[in-house]
């Protein structure tokens, strides 16, 4: 099993001098191919910052982030962007769909970004993904015409469209109903099981975390090493217990 992303001794500070505030401290972990990893932590614990570092949107103040074997800090911004394009599919809490593009076009956006048109293969794949995510009837709709669940499923379809090996998901169910959230989580799980992708999920929700193979806890910018939970078959109660133990 190969490593999708590896984080070694990462620190991240905001501000400078006396106003320097640590956001992340001594973070080290890795995500294997096909593994579903969940990161939990209270608000302000640095979860989103961690995702920014993993995707190469931001650079660590110290330490390394290796994405598909490439140290992101050593790459130019353009190379980092291209690495992200090839290796990372992003799912946002607030969906971040292009408001002017239809569902179909939003799903196909990675192809356009990669400079590929909607050739037959692309169109077939969009249709397949739409069917898989229950969006087949909504392909021509614009984002504001969708429900929250539909928007997030579109966002996931977009992330899957690029066939990148790593999916980064920033609280993807945070704005969804319980039912819609469960649907999304099942889809993400199937990405690991059926497609062999790695998923790194950031969430507050123990129910979502129960879908993961492994749960990491981030407290005040540090990973609570001894609290890590490993699956499969993690239960919501187990996760609640762990959170309680960490006073989260």
Residues lying near another protein in the complex (CB under 8 A): 48, 52, 55, 57-58, 77-78, 81-82, 84-86, 88, 90, 92-101, 105, 109-110, 112-115, 117, 143-144, 148, 151, 158, 162, 175
Of 121, 2, 13, 120, residue with least CA distance to 63: 13
Nearer to another protein, 40 or 161 (CB): 161
Nearer to another protein, 104 or 205 (CB): 104
Residue 56 beta carbon to another protein: minimum distance, rounded to whole angstroms: 9
On whether the CB atoms of residues 8 and 66 are closer than 8 A, the answer is: yes
Nearer to another protein, 15 or 230 (CB): 15
Residue 85 beta carbon to another protein: minimum distance, rounded to whole angstroms: 3
Nearer to another protein, 41 or 143 (CB): 143
Q: Match 């401290």 to its residue by tokens.
A: 25
Strands (E), 82-136: 88-91
Residue 115 beta carbon to another protein: minimum distance, rounded to whole angstroms: 7
Residue 24 beta carbon to another protein: minimum distance, rounded to whole angstroms: 14
- For helices 148-161 and 120-132, give the axis angle rounded to 10 degrees: 140
List b or e across 103-120, with b for residues whose CB sees 16 or more CB atoms inside 10 angstroms: bbbbbbbbbeeeeeeeee
Name the pairing type of β-strands 166-170 and 198-203.
Answer: parallel
Nearer to another protein, 108 or 229 (CB): 108
On whether the CB atoms of residues 164 and 145 are closer than 8 A, the answer is: no
Residue 77 beta carbon to another protein: minimum distance, rounded to whole angstroms: 7
d(CA 183, CA 169): 15
């Amino acid at each position: 099993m190969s490593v999708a992303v590896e984080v070694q001794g990462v620190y991240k500070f905001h501000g400078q001098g006396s106003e320097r505030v640590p956001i992340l401290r001594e973070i080290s972990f890795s995500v294997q191919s096909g593994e579903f990893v969940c990161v939990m932590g209270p608000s302000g614990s640095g979860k989103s910052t961690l995702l920014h570092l993993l995707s190469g949107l931001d650079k660590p103040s110290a330490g390394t982030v290796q994405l598909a074997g490439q140290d992101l800090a050593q790459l130019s911004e353009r190379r980092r962007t291209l690495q992200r394009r090839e290796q990372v599919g992003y799912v946002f809490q607030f969906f971040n769909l292009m408001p002017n593009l239809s569902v179909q076009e939003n799903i196909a956006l990675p192809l356009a970004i990669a400079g590929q048109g909607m050739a037959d293969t692309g169109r077939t794949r969009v249709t397949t993904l739409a069917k898989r995510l229950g969006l087949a009837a909504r392909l021509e709709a614009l984002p504001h015409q969708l429900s929250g669940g539909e928007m997030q499923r579109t966002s996931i379809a977009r992330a899957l469209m690029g066939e990148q090996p790593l999916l980064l998901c920033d609280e993807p169910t945070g704005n969804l109903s319980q039912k819609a959230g469960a649907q999304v989580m099942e889809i993400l799980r199937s990405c690991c099981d059926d497609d062999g992708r790695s998923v790194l999920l950031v969430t507050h929700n123990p129910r979502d975390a129960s879908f993961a193979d492994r749960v990491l806890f981030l407290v005040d910018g540090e990973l609570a090493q001894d609290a890590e939970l490993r699956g499969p078959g993690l239960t919501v109660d187990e996760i609640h217990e762990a959170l309680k133990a960490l006073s989260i």
